[in-house]
Amino acid sequence: MDNPEPTTVEAVEQGPSEQQSLPLGFVRGEPVLERPEDLYIPPEALEIMLEAFSGPMDLLLYLIRRQKMDILDLPILQITRQYMEYVELMRELKLELAADYLVMAAMLAEIKSRLLLPKAPSEDEEELDPRAELIRRLQAYEVVREGARQLDDQPQQYRDYFVASAATDARTWAEQAPPDVSLAELSLALSRVMQLVNVQAHHQIKREALSTRERMSRILEKLSQCARLDFVELFDLSEGKAGVVVSFLAILELNKEGLLVLTQAEAYSGIYISAKSEVSQPGEATLR
């Protein structure tokens, strides 16, 4: 983009003079070079050129640079004439593309006409220079154009570089890690576990507290104090279901071992319990 002119155009326009023109063309406002005056460009070459220019500012900068001029010395008459000739050719080739170029042509024509008018007396010369606005724009555009060029020179993804990456199985590790849990959820889960522990602990303690074997001893103890007891008297209701069950198991166990006797006068009547030993020999009881 730096040198938009195709070689054919350059050859026709500037020819060999371009190569040895270094000492020429630097005279302020008046380039010594006469050759750029001609402007025959083959239509095909022009089309290529027009595509190379990104807009009227680009074309204008090209024309100025071709004259080896400083933007600040903008030779408006010369440039305007050349610019118009290009635009004329453009209109013949690509009408729609010329629209933006025509706006610039109008601006150049306006500046030119103002320059041709006699100068009004003024103190501030810079403010009055009709070219100032265009020069400012050209300078800004030059920055942007150069910026675009430098940007294009930067390494670009998929064109110059590709992002490198490595495979890892770290993700599977990450997935195995427990997901983030809020403190509330965590304490809820903990309370559930605690409940479970409580239930288990409770159960075990009951077993300890309500050992069937121990209950058997206590029943036997009671029976040793009074010969005959009502079945119901052997239960301590304050112990709850578990206590009742343990007592019942103890009674069954004692009965099985022949250590007590269960008696019932008739169906549905009260059951009475008495120690076996009083009735018969312990040896007999166990043997039975």
Partner 1 sequence: MINEKQLKQLVEAAIFTAEAPVTLDQLLTGVLANFSMNKPRLRQVLDQLQEDYKERGVQLVEVASGFRFQTRAELGPALAHMWSERAPRYSPALLETLAMIAWRQPVTRGEIEAVRGVSVSTQIMKTLQERGWVKVVGHKEVPGRPALYATTKAFLDYFSIQSVVDIPALAEPPESDTRERDNKEVSESGHE
d(C-alpha 88, C-alpha 251), whole Å: 124
Among 140, 196, 201, 252, binds partner 1 (CB under 8 A): 140
Q: Which residue type sits at 92?
A: E
| 128 near partner 1 (CB under 8 A) | no
| 160 near partner 1 (CB under 8 A) | yes
Could you say which residues in the range 45-64 bind partner 1, by CB under 8 A? 52, 54-58, 60
For residue 98, the minimal CB distance to partner 1 (Å) is 11
| 136 near partner 1 (CB under 8 A) | yes
| 146 near partner 1 (CB under 8 A) | yes
CB closer to partner 1, 118 vs 155 = 155
| 104 near partner 1 (CB under 8 A) | yes
- In whole angstroms, how far apart are CA 231 and each of 248, 269, 271, 272? 10, 11, 5, 5
**Which phi and psi (to 5°) does residue 75 adopt?**
-80, 85
CB distance 192 to 237 below 8 Å: no
For residue 96, the minimal CB distance to partner 1 (Å) is 12
Q: Which residue, among 200, 217, 201, has the nearest Cα to 260 in the 3D structure?
A: 217
Q: By CB under 8 A, how many residues form the interface with partner 1?
A: 41
Q: Which residue, among 54, 69, 10, has the nearest Cα to 147 in the 3D structure?
A: 54
CB distance 288 to 258 below 8 Å: yes
CB closer to partner 1, 165 vs 269 = 165
| 170 near partner 1 (CB under 8 A) | yes
CB distance 209 to 251 below 8 Å: no
CB closer to partner 1, 98 vs 223 = 98
Among 19, 122, 168, 269, binds partner 1 (CB under 8 A): 168
d(C-alpha 82, C-alpha 66), whole Å: 11
Exposure string for 154-187, b = 16+ CB within 10 A, e = fewer: eeeeeeeeeeeeeeeeeeeeeeeeeeeeeeeeee
Q: Using CB under 8 A as the criterion, what x/- string covers residues 64-103 for binding partner 1?
A: ------------------------------------x--x
For residue 99, the minimal CB distance to partner 1 (Å) is 8
| 110 near partner 1 (CB under 8 A) | no
CA–CA–CA angle 273, 268, 276 (5° rounding): 15
| 156 near partner 1 (CB under 8 A) | yes
For residue 108, the minimal CB distance to partner 1 (Å) is 11
Token look-up 């380039």 returns 31
| 32 near partner 1 (CB under 8 A) | no
Per CB under 8 A, residues contacting partner 1 are 1, 52, 54-58, 60, 100, 103-104, 136-137, 140-141, 143-152, 154-168, 170
